[in-house]
Amino acid sequence: MSATDWNDRICTLGPFEPAPGDGFIVCRCVEITQGDVRRAVHDGMFTLHEVRRLLRCGMGLCQGQICGRLVRGIVAKELGVSPTALEEVTARAPMRPVEMRVFGSEEAGA
Amino acid sequence: MNNTADVIIIGAGVIGSATAYYLTRKGHSVIVLEKSPFLGDGGSSRNGGGVRQSGRDPRELPLAMYGVKHLWPGLSEELGMDVEYCQSGNLRLGKTEEHLAILRGLTDRAAACGLGVSMIDAAQARTICPYLSEEVIGASWCPTDGHANPMLVTLAYYRKARANGARFITGQRVQAIQKVRGQARRVVCGDETFEGDTIVLAAGYGSRAIAAGLGIDLPMNTLLMEVLVTEEQPPMFSQMLGTAMADFYGHQSKHGSFVFGGSSGFEAHNRDDGRPVNHSITAPCICRGVMGYFPALAGTKIVRTWAGWLDEMADHIPAIGPVAEVPGLLVGCGFSGHGFGIAPAVGTVLADLAAGDTPPLEVSAFRYDRFKAKL
């Protein structure tokens, strides 16, 4: 039996069925629950990029440092693949939040 | 798996996905091919979310006005997802007489096309948006403009089209469109071939190479634009914002983050490593632009920055419509950084053209072969 080709979005996971733990908040910055992530996958978001773009989990203040592994695990489990089989997501500058007046300054040592 | 459909769409960005949705709504079968592993990975998820009519090329205005009147207001309900459409107007700001002259020119040209846009003074501008710098002396104001969340719009069109039976395939790079008996019909991707009665080419800059295989040149380049996103803030203002000098543009999103786009001035000379990567000088430049108009945001933190390529057409408006030399082929590309706001209207037009129906708007101004040498 060959693995499902999740690139072909005609594949379906069937209707979303609620599960224990769906109420757990996995992304604290944006307040996204396990159920939100599972529902997104059932809605055809088969990549971490699409889940993040839909829910913004991992794009808040901590930039996914807390929820990144959790979300990856949930998406992988729904798709029936290894978490390492999912793509890397892009880390974005700045590495920690920086005030506009600091980021916009060109003065050395400011 | 059946690789044949009424229409094959190349590109699963907001244009391709919207076209797919409107075609499925008419009952047509659709296959959408996307080279990226991810849906909407080009300009569709890398833009400022403007749903603007003001500040547009007059040729684009009918599309923009049609969308704002007929498509955007009901889009969330129609697609079954809140796409965060907010119609609170667009302020384009000026600090000098030269700025106001630019704004007056834009305003006069748009008003002549029937758009409700006018010049307002500093006091009126501050009534609309109390956080403006004291240096602002006037603005143009279009109350029917707005913004929406581009990632949600793209994914909402995808989700609804998919629910209606459209087949989307990611990671499927199109190598060639082939004619059968003089008609565009076959789409070749490596060892897979797809067939459709009509082919819609909506692959952003990637459209150029695919069209070249049929002897059609779409004169466009890529142009990197960069955006920064702030931490969440309490609601401050809901308008879409821009400036006469295009120092920056942006808005506050529904969840509270500000999204500001801009440039450094070196975009034409950026190093191109094959990926849209931020340059260290650009986000600070956008910060200085923003603080120059909104001093109250100086203490607001930036949490992320990102970059994306525009598909910049030679005359800064897209190519939309049929290709005379290749019956059965429609193009929709080269949106030059302002395709998001007109995407629902363009999707409607392309779906009508692909289905053989009469579109609500005439698009001959966007002919692919309008480009002539200067002498």
Chain B nearest-CA distance from A21, in A, is: 24
pLDDT (tens digit, 9 = 90+) per residue, B227-282?
Answer: 999 999 999 999 999 999 988 999 999 999 999 999 999 888 877 778 888 999 99
Q: What is the pLDDT of residues B290-344, one digit of tens each?
A: 999 999 999 999 999 999 999 999 999 999 999 999 999 999 999 999 999 999 9
Tens digit of pLDDT for each residue in A15-48?
899 999 999 999 999 999 999 999 999 999 999 9
Q: Is the pLDDT of residue B38 over 80?
A: yes
- Alpha helices, DSSP H, located in B82-241: 97-112, 122-128, 150-163, 206-212
A99, closest residue in chain B (CA to CA): B301
Determine contact: B170 vs chain A, CB below 8 A: yes
Q: What b/e string do you get for B261-299 counting C-beta neighbours within 10 Å, with b at 16 or more?
A: bbbbeebeebeeeeebebbeebbbbbbbbbbbbbbebee
Cβ–Cβ below 8 Å for B287 and A100 = yes
Segments of B146-208 assigned E as strands: 146-147, 167-169, 176-180, 183-189, 192-201
Mean predicted lDDT score pLDDT of chain B: 96
B151-185 pLDDT, tens digit each: 999 999 999 999 999 999 999 999 999 999 999 99
The least confident of A88-92, B93-97, B316-320, B363-367 is A88-92
The reported pLDDT for the residue numbered A2 is 52
Cα distances (angstroms) measured from residue B217 to each of B135, B179, B203, B274, B334: 46, 17, 14, 22, 12
DSSP secondary structure of B258-279: EEEEE--S-GGG----SS----
pLDDT of the residue at B219: 97
As to burial, measured by CB atoms within 10 angstroms (0-12 exposed, 13-18 middle, 19+ buried), residue A62 is: middle
pLDDT of residue A1: 40
- Name the band, by pLDDT with cuts 50, 70 and 90, for residue A107: confident
Percent of chain A with pLDDT over 90: 81
Identify the pLDDT of residue B167.
98
Give the pLDDT score at A109: 67
Q: Which spans in B96-205 are helix H?
A: 97-112, 122-128, 150-163
Q: Does B41 touch chain A (CB under 8 A)?
A: yes
Helix or strand run (H / E) with residue B55: none
**Closest partner CB to B303 (pick from A63, A90, A104):** A63
A8 contacts in B (CB within 8 Å)? Answer: 1, 167, 169
Whether the predicted interface score ipTM is above 0.85: yes
Cβ neighbours of residue A24 under 8 Å, at least 6 residues apart? Answer: A33, A34
pLDDT for the residue numbered B247: 87
Instruction: Calculate the CA dihedral of residues B259, B264, B265, B271 and round it to 10 degrees.
Output: -110
User: What CA–CA distances, in Å, run from B264 to B267, B282, B287?
Assistant: 7, 5, 11
Residue B69 has pLDDT above 50, yes or no: yes
Half-sphere exposure of B213 (CA within 13 A, CB side): 16
Backbone angles phi, psi at A32, to 5 degrees: -110, 135
Query: Are A99 and B278 an interchain contact pair (Cβ–Cβ within 8 Å)?
Result: no
Q: Tell which CATH classification among 1.10.10.1100, 3.20.20.70, 1.10.3720.10, 2.40.50.140 matches the domain A25-88.
A: 1.10.10.1100
Contact B283 A101 (CB under 8 A): no
Contacting residues for B302 by C-beta, under 8 A, at least 6 apart: A94, A97, A98, A99, A100, A103, B228, B229, B230, B231, B283, B287
Residue with tokens 């808040």: A60
Please state the rounded mean pLDDT for residues B10-27.
98
The verdict on a CB contact (< 8 Å) between A93 and B283 is yes
Task: State the CB neighbour count (10 A cutoff) for residue B364.
Answer: 9
pLDDT given at position B67: 98
Total residues belonging to chain A: 110
Give the best residue of A32, A41, A50 to mutate against chain B (max B CB count within 10 A): A50
Average pLDDT, chain A: 93
d(CA B94, CA B96): 6
Min CA distance, A35 vs chain B (Å)? 17
Q: Do B169 and A93 touch (CB under 8 A)?
A: no
Tokens 């693995």 sit at which residue?
A3
Secondary structure element (H or E) that encloses residue B350, with its range: helix B343-355
Res A110: pLDDT: 53
* Residues ≥6 apart with Cβ < 8 Å to A106: B284
* Residues in chain B within 8 Å Cβ distance of A94: 302-305
